[in-house]
Chains A and B, each alone.
Chain A
Amino acid sequence: MKQQAADILDTKTLTVQDAIDKYKVASTKTWWQKTGNYRIAFLYLLPSLLLFSVFMFYPMIYSLYLSFFFTDAQGTASAFVGWENYTYLFQSAAFRNSVGVTLLFVLYTVPSSVIIALFLALLANEKLRGIGLYRTIFASTLGMSVAASAVIWLFMFHPTAGILNAALTSINLPALSWLQDSTMALVSVAITTIWMNTGFSFLILLGGLQNIDEHLYESARIDGAGYFYRLRRITVPMLSPTLFFIITITFINSFQSFGQVDILTGGGPAEATNLIIYSIYKEAFIYYQFGPASAQAIILFGAVLLLTLLQFKFGEKKVHYQ
């Protein structure tokens, strides 16, 4: 039976193939001419490819290479160790802690950054007298460098001279060890990060809000839709491309938060804020162990890539493009 079916299929394909051969006009173009477009595309891409190769691909491939070695005091790969850097990482309690801390940090910062920025953007989108001032204030953290913001918060978190503890004690609450207590420290770093993220997210979201067609609201209002109904049915869907962009960017930024950790806690206390990116830095530039550091970097790269792909696969379905 099967053989028969295959035969029929075979004859069919043959007939189609025959037809093609019969009516085919032989191309006068040579292979060289046919691939012309690709060569032009390549030429146009060449400058960026060159830059990417020097600053992205080469370091990435070199990291991958280093991750299979131990490095000597000069930082050159000296002993091939195979997968040991990776297997050691998966067994190491310190690395598992870093992974946990990083995920927790992302959980603390991403939703709250986006929600706060959205809330502020909705407020600032109202047409009121002097709203420009508030828009400037809300967006102002955008202009602050990571180092400057972290130092400001460092002063505020100071256990004895900080304004936060002064405020707490003035209303008869006990002073907190903002950066010295291991559970509090991650929250403190997260607060700083949210504060830093808000300016940028706010500005982009406000831009998105301003782009929504006023007529949509007008018709909704005529139909008797309340504020929250309009928010849910018009604002959020119309804003979804912007929201998706902001969520993706905040997400990636959150995985790569470094400056504030370095300035506020140095990964401590007891590794409670030792995010993977900070752990990579310590391994590479304090201990000078480029092998294990590269292995961590490769794992982080894989994880962020995977999560971003997942986000695109599932998140993008909910995005409404006009």
Chain B
Amino acid sequence: MKKTLFFMSVSLLTLAACASNEEGETNEAEAEGEASAEEVDEETNNEAEISEEVVEIEFWHGMGGGLGDTLEALVDDYNASQEEFHITPEYQGSYEELLTQFRTVGGTETAPALVQMFEVGTKYMIESGYITPVQEWIDKDGYDVTQLEENILSYYTVEDELYSMPFNSSTPALYFNKDMFEEAGLDPENPPRTFSEIKEAAEKLTDEDTYGFSMLGHGWFFEQLIATQSADYVDQENGRTADATEVLFGGEEGLRAYEWLNEMNEAGTFEYYGRDWDDLRAAFQTENVAMYMDSSAGTKDAINNAGFEVGVSFIPHADEIDPNGVVIGGASVWMGSGISEEEQQGAWEFMKWFNQPEVQAEWHVNTGYFATHPEAYNEPVVEGEHEEYPQLRVPIEQLQATVPSSATQGALITVFPESREQVVTSLEELYQGTSPEDALQMAVEGSNRAIEVSERASE
């Protein structure tokens, strides 16, 4: 009996000890929190002695590697240019990871004031309720937004409101090996444009260890092949007038693209290198692939790394239809809601600053992304760069030649990431021997199911 009591009291004591420990920890944590808050206060105070009052603004982005360095340098320039605001860039991983991160903290106090988001996250961001449309600040500030590149603005404009500020935009283009073109008796200055021309050229370029053509396993390229035929990806004017209810890419336009890829794949003039951008780029650099589609943001790297002449041209289009151009890709910058007016002011100032021609000129030259401000192309740095790399002009010309329509404006759907996955999976099925009709149907059904689920979930 005594023993039992003893044990019970011991365990109770242990428990009590645990409890008090926990309390202690919380107290410590609180104390730490206070301390750091005080530190921050002190820091701000110290800086305030020099300048008036510095407003800290967090900026989440998804640019790693060299692009990330360029971005940080850009932000440093901004911080040095004025004393009122301080932007702190924070790398959050790939675009997809960035979206996931933002989903988890959106609407809470830890949410950033500025967040970069890839183009297909647009619809999600609008619906999330965690953001303030930049249009509010454009109106408040009387900012002339028409000075920016129209084709980029149109993507991020929904129901006449600009939701996010253009930041890094790119489009796909066709990249080809000029040396191989000459060897195969093709004219490198007059590259193939239509599906059938590409197919014929691919046949001539294919030999024992070279494939004529390849396309990355990424939904973006298929979307472009649809858009340039002036076909919408989803209904409701590409999801721009109302919530999309079903996908439209399963029509003849989609089938043309699938059949074209299938014919080349069956003829052995096409090779699939998977979903990793770098694998396909490596295959091009090692001359295993003669022609492929890549993002215009990769132009300079492609030219610098290649041991041969690289040609850049417009993306392929179906023979039956005149090309309508491209949809922009890349990302834009969003302003978080639920932050102070002051922080929003700072975020807005930064947005205006990076869209200035001089800043955009630097950005374009250092990364290969488009300049969001057309006047940037007249800046001396850009002109010099274009002399040296005339290929950089091709994507710009392609974008400016784009026919404005709902198709080239780009689709707005919440489940875009999932639909892309469905498209890539069905293309992989196609390359493994599934018929173009069946493969395309799979992508359509999968995407429609995703749309249906998301619609019912948000009711």
A interface residues (Cβ-Cβ under 8 A, vs B): 36, 39-40, 43-44, 46-47, 70-75, 78-79, 81, 94, 158-161, 179-180, 182, 265-266, 268-271, 282, 285-289, 291-292
Contact = CB atoms under 8 A, between A and B. Distances in A.
Interface in B241-287: 272-275, 279, 282-283, 286
Interface string B1-31: 0001001100110010010000000000000
Given A160-B288, A270-B432, A287-B450, A180 B458 contact: no
A284 B78 CA distance: 38
B66 to A, nearest CB: 20
Contact of B457 (A40, A46, A79): A79
A10 B11 CA distance: 48
A160 B458 contact: no
Given A286-B96, A287-B450, A270 B457 contact: no
B11 A40 contact: yes
Interface string B419-459: 00100110011011000000000000010001001101111
Contacts of A47: 18
Interface stretch (B173-181, B322-330, B374-382, B410-418): B410-418
A268 B282 contact: no
A269 B428 contact: yes
B103 interface: yes
B124 A73 contact: yes
Q: Which 3 A-B pairs have the closest CB atoms?
A: A270-B428, A70-B457, A269-B428
Nearest to A284: B100
A75 B99 CA distance: 13
Contacts of B272: 180, 269
B127 A266 contact: no
A265 B274 CA distance: 8
Contact of B11 (A44, A71, A179, A286): A44
B270 to A, nearest CB: 12
Nearest to B97: A285
Given A268-B425, A269-B432, A160 B7 contact: no
A68 B446 CA distance: 20
Contacts of A285: 100
A158 B276 CA distance: 11
Contacts of B18: 47
A72 B456 CA distance: 9
A43 B13 CA distance: 11
B217 interface: yes
Nearest to B123: A73
Nearest to B426: A270
Contacts of A44: 11
Given A158-B279, A160-B288, A270-B432, 7 more contacts: A71-B457, A74-B107, A78-B457, A161-B286, A182-B428, A269-B431, A286-B417
B128 interface: yes
A282 B273 CA distance: 21
Contacts of B446: 94
A78 B217 contact: no
Nearest to A47: B18
A159 B283 contact: yes
Given A270-B428, A287-B450, A288-B103, A159 B279 contact: yes
A72 B18 CA distance: 39
Contact of B273 (A46, A81, A159): A159
Nearest to A175: B209
Nearest to A78: B457
B237 to A, nearest CB: 22
A73 B458 contact: yes
Given A79-B459, A180-B272, A268-B217, A43 B15 contact: yes
Given A44-B11, A47-B18, A182-B428, A160 B453 contact: no
Given A40-B11, A161-B286, A180-B273, A78 B421 contact: no
Interface residues on B, range: 35 or more
A270 B429 contact: yes
Given A79-B459, A182-B432, A288-B103, A70 B453 contact: yes
Nearest to A271: B425
Nearest to B287: A160
Residue among A44, A70, A182, A271 having the largest count of chain B Cβ atoms under 10 Å: A70
A179 B272 CA distance: 11
Interface in B67-114: 96, 100, 103, 106-107
B453 A78 contact: no
A292 B418 CA distance: 13
A73 B127 contact: yes
Contact of A74 (B103, B217, B286, B428): B103
A153 to B, nearest CB: 14
Contacts of A179: 274
Interface in B382-429: 414-415, 417-418, 421, 424-425, 428-429
Contact of B7 (A40, A158, A161, A269): A40
Contacts of B124: 73
A160 B15 contact: no
A182 B427 CA distance: 12
A268 B273 contact: no
B4 A269 contact: no
Given A36-B4, A70-B456, A179-B274, A286 B282 contact: no
Contacts of A39: 8
A36 B5 CA distance: 9
A288 B275 CA distance: 21
A52 to B, nearest CB: 16
17 contacts: A36-B8, A40-B4, A43-B15, A44-B11, A71-B457, A72-B457, A73-B103, A73-B458, A78-B457, A78-B459, A79-B459, A180-B272, A269-B217, A269-B274, A286-B96, A287-B421, A289-B418
A42 to B, nearest CB: 10
Contacts of B11: 40, 43-44
A74 B106 CA distance: 9
Contact of A73 (B128, B283, B431): B128
Most buried by A among B11, B106, B446: B11
Contacts of A282: 421
Interface in B339-361: none
A104 to B, nearest CB: 16
A189 B67 CA distance: 31
Given A40-B7, A161-B282, A282-B421, A287 B15 contact: no
Contacts of B282: 158, 160-161
